[in-house]
Structure 1
Amino acid sequence: MRTGKVVAVGAVAVALIGMSTACSKNTGKGGNGDGPTAKVASGSISTDPADSKGPAAAIKGAKRGGTIISYHERDYEHLDPQRVYISDGQALDQLVTRQLTAFKFDPKTGKSILVGDLATNTGVDVNHDGKTWKYTLKSGLKYEDGTPITAADVAYGVARSYASDLADGPHYIQQWLAGPGTYNGKYKGPYNGGAAVPPGVTVSGNTITFHLKSSQREFPYAASWGTTSPLPKAKDGKPQSIDTHPFSSGPYKIESYTRGTELKLVRNKYWDPKSDPIRHDYFNELDVKIGVAPSDQTNRVLADHGDDQYAVTDQPGVSPELTGKVLGDPSAKGRTLNGYLPYAARVDINTQRVTDVNVRKALNYSIDRKAYVQALGGTAQAAPATTLMSPTAAGWNKYDAYPGAGTPDGIAKAKKLLGGKHPKLVYAYANTEAGQKLATVLQTAWQKAGFDIVLRSSDPDNFFTLIDRKDNGWDLYSTNWGADWPSGSTVIPPLYDGRTIAKAGNQDTSYLNADDVNKQIDKIKAEPVAQGTKDWGKLDEYIMTKYAPSIPTYYIKQLSITGSKVHDVKIENPPGAISYVDAWVG
């Protein structure tokens, strides 16, 4: 999955095993740039149905009532749960929509487990072969209008995810149901006469069963994504309307949404906390203010006056140039959020356009990560990356395929690879404060090696959707990725299996399609989990060494500040963003 921060956060370079699902909250600890320490969490799949029962454990001291203000620099790309694949959208949908399964964090143990959300458990492997998965919905589940949530609605939600116009979300379940090849080559969703239940899915009463083409032991993880969010066919109407007003199955619903300006959530009175092991509805309203520059967010919440006592610098967080001011202000102690996110940022090289591998290697040798980190706010906000996988991912392999990048030695190696040529390349970036600054840093570094770099700004609200198009027309662009669940199988295959490339909705945005890489992906998928965990890290290095389809830039971290009246806002992985499921004001 991608973080909604685009290019505005920093990172950590420590190795964590499995998935870092720890939360960092305003507890009064930290506040020195390190913040609360990220904890190791298992991310394991619960086998005890009791873990899936609600209500969620009460938060000590929490009160009901009040409004939380969430400041955002840019708008959400998508809120339609079948289209969401960016962390800020996923974090908001965490309050509005529910799925068959979800991650539940236990602050007492510091571990997360996957539990049943809409479902009574994490799924039944019917034939014990990983190919047939059965889910039974909990009783009494209702939408925002009081109508019941049914298994047929879950099936319809999955069906929608096949539509080419809704291809922005994850494709795991669709691919596993369809088998090898393009997942929507034959069945294209419920529109234009398509069936309301996709091939390979059966519904009986309150149960839904998935009949996969191959064994997928990790299916319960994939079921936690918006792919399995329910929607009655009668409420679908025009598919694009769901993108701004998803039909609520969670504790909150959208009251109003003006794109680019403001979004307001209010309680869904039909949500039953007894059915939900994860969420609370302590605050009355979440008011998302959109279009607020990071510097304005930071200064306003740091001052802690008036309504800003109830505010959060949510997206992208503390402005890089104000990092020192925040960390050095005694009044901010206890109000900082500082936690690790499971993402590695990179610049993708469009290998369809930049076909010479020596040019791609020269781009890697000439990047100046030191200047890049400084532009992000220094070491409190960022750490340089040399790998495609994040250090938080299981099987992370620490290596540097292009040592000395950005140094005189690295520039010399880049020039040698270019052999006197001066390639003219277009670098596209999201038109934000950080995007503008970092584009200049990259341009300066690459031009030292002899590149002619043309900068092209792009709408930040639609940036990822544009680079996901096969014919995007750009040579270089910054992006990022984090594991969709605790497995390297959710990093390397989505990003570098060229057989998945389609006209739109691509995760492989370097558009690399190499037979030897594809074969290694298949081999590792068939290995025992322990062996595969190691081999994903090895394949990471192989891809970068042989093909250089991307340029790792930094590992991502969140630094935010809250108003003094906001409590238990947390950084959670997933969704790899600020989460409000436990938040309250007072």
Structure 2
Amino acid sequence: MPGFRATLLAAAFTLAALPAMAQRTLTIGASSAPTGMDPHYHSSNMNNAQLRQVFDLLIDLDSSGRFVPRLAESWRAVDDHTWEFRLREGVRFHDGTPLTAEDVAFSYARVPTVPNSPGPFTPAVRLISRVEVVDPRTVRFHTRDPHPFLEHDIAAVFILSRTIHATATLADFNGGRAMIGTGPYRHVSYQIGERQEVVRNPEYWGPAQPWERVITRVISNSGARSAALLSGDVDVIDSVPSQDVPRLEREPRIAVFGVEANTTSYLFPDAMRDASPFVTDKQGRPLPRNPLADQRVRTALSLGINRQAIVDRLLQGQGKAADQFAAPALEGRAPGLPPLPHDPDRARRLLAEAGYPDGFRLTLHGPNGWFAGDSEVMQAIAQGWTRIGIETRVEILPPANLFSRATNREFSMFMTTFTANYGANMLRQVVMSRNPEAGTGPFNRQRWESPRMDALVAQAMVTMDRTRRDAVTADAHRVAVEELGVIPVHFLRLTWATQRARVRYEPDPRWYTNAMLSHPAN
């Protein structure tokens, strides 16, 4: 593949030169690893955060939620169906290949072609009817319908090179051969699930980065992450365990940084099939019908969760009990909804009304080390469900394994999270019917379908008037709470901790952990 040999030689030269240089190394202890290094493979928090170090976007959102220029120095709406972006002059990929408008067009065309994605980027490109290359530095995006959220979609897609990446596969990226971007750091090495190393890009178009070398170590055990920070083995950790936050805040050598996230933890029931693989009667025998398909059962499951106790006791106030699917800061959420109730007695009555007076058995699957306290939260949910008559077993899996199996519909119920920058996008990505051609429902892993939801979100996505759009989106969120195709649990509060004398962290509500958000303390 063109460019690979030159990049490997450059990386080898960089490594050879490191001992002779005055090193300023940043070491990050991360709770989870990227599921793949192809920037178009899986839209997940860890993937997007880590890949921002090597690759770049046309525009981005900063940690306060404002759009900022990246590879595009300016952009404008020509009309309701057309947006124009002007590229920076002189930007080059790490192997010296110049960035042109052709690379932008190639990147957006590539997104739907990436195979076997557990969470594709297709929603960001499906409303775009055509990418027009006006000249080497100008590109226009034409949309089928008015698209009020086009800037958000543009800010989701990494820009690759038509020359370098035309035939690149996931294996090429994971092996480092295709890790050639325009970002502030150059790829050095990646050990899947363990460690990533990058070095500062001296030819970066933007401000020089303060870190010459960045090592990200995956430390999935929360106690081990805190211990690594306290011992000085790492400079920054993410997903600080809730029980460790007060202790670290009292430690003079440690600084703690937190933010309310744009992230919701939720449960996804297998409600669309006649039979489900991990639901049985209490003797372990298959049931004649799938109880999760009954809205009364899903309501009972929601009523069996003591969300406030989970936040107050297990998470020690690090989060907020969910009242709906969209996090509090998101545009378009439904105003004035009461907290999702905890009512075991009503839950039992609904189960009996649905034909399950004695309950049934269920296995809840979920990730280990995905967010602070995830396994404890699942155990608390299982205990609540067992109390209403649904004997629940919890099975914990590594995140990559969980998402792969969930995409294959191997679970009856699983827990995960979703992060979005606006309320309609949460519904478009997770709750709308899965339609790869339309770019809806890429994270709808249980194939939930709701005609009411589909109609409302489709309307919101093309409504330019903000007031009308927010009203339609709020109606959609009310439908989501009523139907419980997904069952929200809590809104995350994200916490990072650093070596106070070394690093000041800029907490990002999108749950990003990387070098660009890690600033030298002095």
Q: TM-score, normalised to structure 2's length?
A: 0.82
- Find the partner of 1:270 among 203, 207, 222: 203
- Cα distance, 1:540 vs structure 2: 0.8
Question: Corresponding residue for 1:368?
Answer: 306
Question: Corresponding residue for 1:506?
Answer: 442
Moved more, 439-448 or 554-563: 439-448
How do residues 313-462 of structure 1 correspond to structure 2 at under 5 angstroms? Answer: 313-314=237-238, 317-327=239-249, 329-331=250-252, 335-353=255-273, 354-373=292-311, 376-379=314-317, 381-398=318-335, 404-408=341-345, 410-417=347-354, 419-432=356-369, 434-462=373-401
- Cα distance, 1:414 vs structure 2: 4.9
Question: Corresponding residue for 1:119?
Answer: 72
C-alpha distance in 1, partners of 2:425/2:441? 16
- Find the partner of 1:98 among 32, 56, 65: 56
**Cα distance per residue 1:434-467 (max 9 Å; x no partner):** 4433332222111111113343332323433432
- Cα distance, 1:520 vs structure 2: 2.1
Moved more, 492-501 or 90-99: 492-501
- Tell me, yes or no, if the aligned pair for 2:236 and 2:503 is still in contact at 8 Å: no
- Cα distance, 1:396 vs structure 2: 2.7
Moved more, 361-370 or 203-212: 203-212
- Tell me, yes or no, if the aligned pair for 2:36 and 2:42 is still in contact at 8 Å: yes
Identity of aligned residues (%): 15
- Cα distance, 1:372 vs structure 2: 2.6
C-alpha distance in 1, partners of 2:351/2:242? 30
Letter in 1 for 2:54: V
- Cα distance, 1:75 vs structure 2: 1.4
Question: Corresponding residue for 1:42?
Answer: none
C-alpha distance in 1, partners of 2:436/2:302? 24
- Structure 1 pair 451–256 and aligned structure 2 pair: CA distance change class (3 A): same
- Tell me, yes or no, if the aligned pair for 1:294 and 1:318 is still in contact at 8 Å: yes
C-alpha distance in 1, partners of 2:311/2:39? 33
The SS at the match of 2:73 is coil
How do residues 207-356 of structure 1 correspond to structure 2 at under 5 angstroms? Answer: 207-225=138-156, 227-240=157-170, 241-243=172-174, 245=176, 246-273=179-206, 280-301=208-229, 303=230, 305-308=231-234, 311-314=235-238, 317-327=239-249, 329-331=250-252, 335-353=255-273, 354-356=292-294
Letter in 2 for 1:117: R
Question: Corresponding residue for 2:92?
Answer: 142
Letter in 2 for 1:221: H
Gaps of 5+ in 2: 1-21, 274-291
- Structure 1 pair 201–475 and aligned structure 2 pair: CA distance change class (3 A): farther
C-alpha distance in 2, partners of 1:385/1:265? 38
C-alpha distance in 2, partners of 1:406/1:262? 45
The SS at the match of 2:188 is strand
Please tell me whether residue 464 in structure 1 is matched to residue 399 in structure 2. Answer: no
- Structure 1 pair 401–363 and aligned structure 2 pair: CA distance change class (3 A): farther
C-alpha distance in 1, partners of 2:261/2:104? 29
- Structure 1 pair 74–491 and aligned structure 2 pair: CA distance change class (3 A): closer
Letter in 2 for 1:78: G
Letter in 2 for 1:482: T
- Tell me, yes or no, if the aligned pair for 1:569 and 1:579 is still in contact at 8 Å: no
C-alpha distance in 1, partners of 2:237/2:259? 14
C-alpha distance in 1, partners of 2:243/2:124? 42
**Cα distance per residue 1:526-546 (max 9 Å; x no partner):** 44211211331232112221x
- Cα distance, 1:346 vs structure 2: 1.1
The SS at the match of 1:568 is strand
How many pairs does the alignment contain?
474
How do residues 152-167 of structure 1 correspond to structure 2 at under 5 angstroms? Answer: 152-165=102-115, 167=117
Letter in 2 for 1:73: S
C-alpha distance in 1, partners of 2:436/2:362? 22
Gaps of 5+ in 1: 1-63, 106-110, 179-198, 274-278
- Cα distance, 1:374 vs structure 2: 5.0
Letter in 1 for 2:162: P
**Cα distance per residue 1:176-221 (max 9 Å; x no partner):** 135xxxxxxxxxxxxxxxxxxxx65446323222222222133222
Please tell me whether residue 496 in structure 1 is matched to residue 431 in structure 2. Answer: yes
- Tell me, yes or no, if the aligned pair for 2:196 and 2:216 is still in contact at 8 Å: yes
C-alpha distance in 2, partners of 1:235/1:419? 55
How do residues 475-486 of structure 1 correspond to structure 2 at under 5 angstroms? Answer: 475-484=412-421
The SS at the match of 1:392 is coil
Please tell me whether residue 565 in structure 1 is matched to residue 501 in structure 2. Answer: yes
- Structure 1 pair 294–375 and aligned structure 2 pair: CA distance change class (3 A): farther
Letter in 1 for 2:520: W
- Cα distance, 1:251 vs structure 2: 1.0
Q: TM-score, normalised to structure 1's length?
A: 0.74
RMSD: 2.9
- Tell me, yes or no, if the aligned pair for 1:363 and 1:414 is still in contact at 8 Å: no
C-alpha distance in 2, partners of 1:201/1:242? 28
Question: Corresponding residue for 2:122?
Answer: 171
- Structure 1 pair 124–382 and aligned structure 2 pair: CA distance change class (3 A): closer
- Find the partner of 1:133 among 83, 90, 100: 83
The SS at the match of 1:134 is strand
Letter in 2 for 1:351: A
C-alpha distance in 2, partners of 1:482/1:457? 21
Letter in 1 for 2:245: T
- Cα distance, 1:330 vs structure 2: 4.3
- Tell me, yes or no, if the aligned pair for 1:155 and 1:230 is still in contact at 8 Å: no
- Tell me, yes or no, if the aligned pair for 2:148 and 2:461 is still in contact at 8 Å: no
- Tell me, yes or no, if the aligned pair for 2:428 and 2:441 is still in contact at 8 Å: no
Please tell me whether residue 68 in structure 1 is matched to residue 20 in structure 2. Answer: no
C-alpha distance in 1, partners of 2:233/2:392? 44
C-alpha distance in 1, partners of 2:67/2:134? 23
C-alpha distance in 2, partners of 1:522/1:291? 40
C-alpha distance in 2, partners of 1:243/1:530? 44
Question: Corresponding residue for 1:576?
Answer: 511
C-alpha distance in 1, partners of 2:48/2:399? 17
